[in-house]
Amino acid sequence: MPKDIEVDRISKTYGSGDGAVHVLDDIEFHVPEREFVCVLGPSGCGKTTLMKMMDGLVEPTSGQIKIGGSVVTEPTDDAAVVFQNFELFPWRSTLDNVALGLEIRGMGEEKRYEIAREWIDKVGLDGFEDSLPSELSGGMQQRVGLARALAVDPEVLLMDEPFGALDAQTKDRMQTQLLKLWEREKKTVIFVTHDIRESIFLADRVLVMGEKPSGIVADIDIPFDRPRWKDRISVENDDRFEDIERELRAHLGLTEGSSEDTLEAT
Ligand SMILES: Nc1ncnc2c1ncn2[C@@H]1O[C@H](COP(=O)(O)OP(=O)(O)OP(=O)(O)O)[C@@H](O)[C@H]1O
């Protein structure tokens, strides 16, 4: 069963004394189970730090995060993470990369390969079971990363700029594939991105973080019906899409009229 996420007055300072970096300041929000939330924010504002906290890899200085009511203190089976740089093992085949999380959880070979093959099929990589990451395109490698995360059937999927390294066309295809999978699996998803339009297309709700020490400066509902992937053009041509984009840009302090729609350009 997907679980909700409660971020309860989180602050984070790295280091101490003169070298202290105050990154997150009193962050508070709730994500109901099965919701798809995107997080936008300027470079270095602490998005990855927040994701690592949800995965139990970084400890908050104060406050707490709860997944399904339990305080996160260490990595657990509740959450699975997908990273921008894929983080696949180069010497492992697609099958063995996808099966990795199940192997770590102690599942026997026959069962884990069965589940891994199902996921390889669901992300459209059948036929590439024996390929090494170096034999796959960036988009295919990220599909391996996605399959590996979903194969363990996590309650929560944490995605840290997963499509940031992909070209525009591959990114479009991956967004469609992710939405199709999400509509079937309905995990609770937190998805960090620098791409404003990507956030509007994917999310039920977009959270905007400010400059560090960061708080949440905006929390915006995205009104478009689902499934959105079936008619992306209508979603993007809806007048409200541009209004929301303008609103998000304003919250991010991006100047009107700039041709860039990603924060990386700032
Ligand atoms: N382990 C650490 N020790 C000290 N400082 C750190 C550590 N990890 C991150 N920081 C600092 O915390 C700040 C936030 O980093 P973080 O990677 O969370 O930001 P981000 O919003 O994900 O950045 P980007 O958008 O560039 O990926 C940065 O100033 C970074 O240098």
**Over the stretch 11-36, which tens digit does the pLDDT of each residue have?**
999 999 989 999 999 999 999 999 99
Question: How large is the average pLDDT for residues 117-140?
Answer: 94
Compute, in angstroms, the gap from residue 13 CA to the centroid of ligand 1: 11
Which pair of structure tokens corresponds to residue 5?
């996420």
What is the pLDDT confidence band of residue 76, given thresholds at 50, 70 and 90? confident
Residue 14 CA to residue 225 CA, distance in Å, equals 41
Closest-CA residue, ligand 1 atom 17, reads 48
Residue 266 has pLDDT above 50, yes or no: no
Share of the chain above pLDDT 90, in %: 78
Beta strands in 129-184 (DSSP E): 156-160
How much is the pTM?
0.92
Q: How far is the CA of 14 from the centre of ligand 1 (A)?
A: 9
d(Cα 193, Cα 203) in Å, to the nearest integer?
A: 11
The phi-psi region of residue 155 (left if phi > 0; otherwise alpha if psi is between -120 and 50; otherwise beta) is alpha
Burial of 85 (0-12, 13-18, 19+ CB in 10 A): middle
What contacts 96, CB < 8 A, 6 or more positions away? 89
Q: 207: pLDDT confidence band, cut at 50, 70 and 90?
A: very high
What per-residue confidence (pLDDT) applies to 265?
A: 41
| pLDDT at 39 > cutoff 60 | yes
Q: Is the CB of 41 under 6 A from ligand 1?
A: yes
Ligand 1 midpoint to CA 20 (Å): 12
The answer to whether ipTM exceeds 0.95 is yes
- Dist. CA 212 → ligand 1 center (Å): 10
Q: Cβ(45) to ligand 1 under 6 A? A: yes
CA–CA dist 191, 104 (Å, integer): 24
User: Are 35 and 183 contacting, i.e. CB atoms less than 8 angstroms apart?
Assistant: no
- Indicate if the alpha-carbon torsion angle 245, 250, 252, 256 is positive or negative: positive
Torsion of CA 262, 245, 36, 112, to 10 degrees: -30
- 264 in contact with ligand 1, CB cutoff 6 A: no
Is 176 within 8 Å of 163 (Cβ atoms)? no
User: How many angstroms separate the alpha carbon of residue 140 from the centre of ligand 1?
Assistant: 28
CA 168 centroid distance within chain:
18
Cα 91 to ligand 1 centre (Å): 29
For residue 123, count CB atoms less than 10 angstroms from its CB and return exposed for 0-12, middle for 13-18, buried for 19 or more. Answer: buried
Which of ligand 1's atoms lies nearest the C-alpha of 192?
A: 22
Least confident of 32-46, 74-88, 219-233, 234-248: 74-88
Per-residue pLDDT tens over the stretch 81-108: 998 887 899 999 999 999 999 999 899 9
Ligand 1 pocket residue status of 27, Cβ below 6 Å: no
Q: Which is it for strands 5-14 and 62-67: parallel, antiparallel or unpaired?
A: antiparallel
Q: How much is the average pLDDT of 37-49?
A: 95
The number of the ligand 1 atom at minimal distance from the alpha carbon of 263 is: 25
Centre of ligand 1 from the C-alpha of residue 43, in Å:
9
pLDDT value, residue 48 = 94
Phi, psi angle pair for 61, to nearest 5°: -75, -40
Pocket mutation for ligand 1, best pick of 10, 24, 45, 264 (most atoms within 8 Å of C-beta): 45
Would you say the CB of residue 234 lies under 6 angstroms from ligand 1? no
Average pLDDT, stretch 29-54?
96
- Confidence at residue 8, expressed as pLDDT on a 0 to 100 scale: 97
Quick one: residue 31, left, alpha or beta (phi over 0 = left, psi -120 to 50 = alpha)? beta
Q: pLDDT value at position 257?
A: 57
* Cα of 194 from ligand 1 centre, angstroms: 15
Q: Which of 54-58, 80-84, 261-265 has the lowest mean pLDDT?
A: 261-265
**Alpha carbon nearest to ligand 1 atom 16, residue:** 46
Q: Is the peptide bond before 133 cis (omega within 30 degrees of 0)?
A: no
Rounded to the nearest integer, the mean pLDDT of the chain is 92
Residue 241 confidence (pLDDT): 97
Closest alpha carbon to 181 in 132, 237, 142, 223? 142
Name which residue sits closest to atom 31 of ligand 1, judged by CA.
44
End-to-end CA distance of the chain: 39
**Rounded mean pLDDT, 43-47:** 94
